[in-house]
Amino acid sequence: MRLGIKLLLVAAVVAAAGVMIGFYVSDLTTLAGSPAYSVPVQNASSGHPVVNLEFQTVAAIGPKFSQNPDWVSYLIKTTSGWKRETVWNLPANATVHVTWLNFDGASGLRNPFLARPQGMVGNSIKVDGKTADHIDPNDASHTFAVPALGIIAAAPGVADDAKNQCGFAPCSLSNAHRTVTFTFHTPAKGGHFRWQCFVPCAAGWIDGFGGPMQTIGYMDGFLNVRA
């Protein structure tokens, strides 16, 4: 084979390999991840911002949001509607008012300890408007927990025989739901804190912790607290 042709062949193979590796690596940086959403600050006052964090949990995410339509998932309310993004940017030293709409039924907690809210203001949550310092662990549907900040909040589930239960996300207030509200503070120093659900709610996986329970963008995410 002539030298020129050989060089061209080697160059072509190296280029093809480079392109494939490039695609592979860039794929890896986004697979099973989630884009970040910056939760808007309500007041412009420096030093102690206030944000409203509103999210919902649904029994089946649906084909509009995912290739796995029957996975349970969180959705965040953004300025442009509900999105399946679980990486949230929050300001440091902020007061975060959380409103959580749960459209899913109960699975039950494996460890009843996690049914006791802690880490938020007053170590209690409001369930459908009523203050509660615990929920029935058997009735737990999902949790929102940030272990590094000591925050554990569990939401009770929609009753099995409730009317007008939500099918695929996004769910609206006219569907059967439970509302949980609480307030917590982000640390002054900032940091990168993971949050997760602790209820074994991934139906079809052994221990209930497979699939959506182990995938960022569904039942797991990050709080990026930026100083």
Size of the site for other proteins (CB under 8 A): 55
Asked if 64 interacts with other proteins (CB under 8 A), we say no
Using CB under 8 A, pick the residue from 84, 143, 211, 223 that binds other proteins: 211
Residue 154 CA: distances (Å) to CA of 16, 53, 182: 50, 16, 11
Using CB under 8 A, pick the residue from 186, 200, 201, 223 that binds other proteins: 200
| Contacting other proteins within 123-162 (CB under 8 A) | 123, 133-134, 136-138, 145, 147-148, 150, 152
Q: Is 19 helix (H, G, I), strand (E, B) or coil?
A: helix
We find the least distance from the C-beta atom of residue 166 to other proteins, in angstroms, to be 20
Longest dimension (CA), the chain: 83
Contacts of 73 by beta carbon, 8 Å cutoff, 6+ apart:
57, 58, 61, 65, 66, 84, 169, 212, 217, 218, 219
| Pair of tokens at residue 28 | 């890896």
Q: Is 114 in contact with 152 (CB distance < 8 Å)?
A: yes
By beta-carbon proximity to other proteins, the closer residue of 104 and 220 is 220
Enumerate binding residues for other proteins (CB under 8 A). 3, 6-7, 10, 21, 25, 27-34, 67-70, 108-113, 115-116, 118, 123, 133-134, 136-138, 145, 147-148, 150, 152, 192, 194, 196, 198, 200, 204-207, 209-211, 213-216, 220
